[in-house]
Amino acid sequence: MNKTALLLSASLVAFASSAFAADTIKIGVLHSLSGTMAISESTLKDTVLMMVDEINKNGGLLGKKVEAVVVDPASDWPLFAEKARELLEKEKVAAVFGCWTSVSRKSVLPVFEEKNGLLFYPVQYEGEESSRNVFYTGAAPNQQAIPAVEYLMSKDGGDVKRWVLAGTDYVYPRTTNKILESFLKSKGVAAEDIMINYTPFGHSDWQTIVSDIKKFSSAGKKTAVVSTINGDANVPFYKELSNQGIKAEQVPVVAFSVGEEELAGIDTKNLVGHLAAWNYFQSVKSPENDAFIKQWHSFIKNPKRVTNDPMEATVIGFKMWAQAVAQSGSTDVDAVRQALYGQKVKAPSGFEAVMNTNHHLSKPVMIGEIQANGQFQTVWQTKGPIKADAWSPFIPESAKLKADWTFPWVCGNCTEPRFKPL
């Protein structure tokens, strides 16, 4: 083959490759498929793939197929940042759906802000953050932690007087517990009635800690455990509660990171009565939830696989992103971001989720009680969706901050007005 033919052949290959790329819209999937967080995050990867499958069966987006680029950051927080950069720079994805822990989100945040990427973060978190490059579809503290504690304080929740704040040692539990400690003290709870404990990721030896909880609860006041324990450490934690005979009637545990997926790996017969606070449970009765569960079982080809809150948050985020792309007629980040404000999705919870200009959702709050079959029975819920607070009024330095990304907008880490460039 002569030089001219070679150049022509190379040009045709390049053109074909470019044409193929132009016919697909890439999105990134940034969830741990190995390591301590795989127990929770792997399902969210499958949830995104399910949504991609659905949208492609319905003709794609802007006349193009949506292609999911899946990476495994392996529960390694610096690796999250590396994989995020790879997705944005090399793969040129239009948006990324990913992260579970706040430490992983904090790791990737500078990358998304530097590259002006879009991250949809689908898990409950501590708040205290507002970025124009992140849409937070999980619960903020006023949509989970505060209502859960208020419920336990009430007569219906047991009139709890002493509190164990038990968490994994990283930013989400520490910040959430800082908010809860301030909230409890504002309600007249004495410092000696609050016990705080942190353990590393993957912690497995709970005997001493559970013994301390048991001793703390023996002071004659109704005691509850507020758990921000994350990942596979939950399995031995609940097992040790059972081993030491701690039952829900005596010391109820309300968890913020334990859902149906985590309970699927635990013998739940000894956990009946313990609680979780979420914005969705698989047991919710609504036409939207029936369709969601049916779609999930059909896609995953396993009728025993459960659904959970972060899955719902992933679905909401994906649908809102797709609606914003269709509305703006573009995958341009700035155009999509603007179109996301005010997007609405009828969620599996049966409520309408709304994206606000603080990049957080309005969504309902539910308290569920663990059943012997690993499902939750809703024992309390709000009458309607609650708007998320990006900044907590229970942290003095945060109470004055505002998150609003419309024009004119106030940045997440300051109170001085700034203006978007034209």
pLDDT of residue 418: 34
Residue type, 33: L
Phi, psi of 367 (to 5 degrees): -110, 125
Alpha-helical (H) ranges within 370-413 are 396-399
CA 164, CA 194: separation in Å to the nearest integer? 6
pLDDT of residue 382: 94
pLDDT tens per residue, the chain (422 residues)? 454 444 444 444 444 333 344 689 999 999 999 999 998 999 999 999 999 999 999 999 999 999 999 999 999 999 999 999 999 999 999 999 999 999 999 999 999 999 999 999 999 999 999 999 999 999 999 999 999 999 999 999 999 999 999 999 999 999 999 999 999 999 999 999 999 999 999 999 999 999 999 999 999 999 999 999 988 888 899 889 989 999 999 999 999 988 998 888 678 887 899 999 999 999 999 999 999 999 999 999 999 999 999 999 999 999 999 999 999 999 999 999 999 999 999 999 999 999 999 999 999 999 999 999 999 999 999 999 999 999 999 999 888 888 888 865 444 444 443 333 32
- pTM of the full predicted structure? 0.87
Sign of CA dihedral 359, 361, 366, 370: negative
Tell me how far CA of residue 192 lies from CA of 161, 162, 183, 196, in angstroms: 11, 9, 15, 11
Instruction: Please provide the DSSP assignment of 163-177 as one string.
Output: EEEEEESSHHHHHHH
Q: Where are the beta strands (DSSP E) in 2-72?
A: 24-30, 65-71
CA 368, CA 147: separation in Å to the nearest integer? 12
CA 105, CA 359: separation in Å to the nearest integer? 15
- How large is the angle between the packed helices 309-328 and 287-300, nearest 10 degrees? 100
pLDDT of residue 14: 42
Instruction: Please provide the DSSP assignment of 284-313 as one string.
Output: ---HHHHHHHHHHHHHHT-TT----HHHHH
pLDDT of residue 407: 61
Closest C-alpha among 41, 313, 277 to residue 321: 313
Ordered domains of the chain (ranges, CATH): 23-139+286-362 (3.40.50.2300), 143-285+368-387 (3.40.50.2300)
Structure tokens of 267? 């013998």
Beta bridge partners of 275: 254, 369
Say if residues 74 and 45 touch (Cβ distance below 8 Å). no
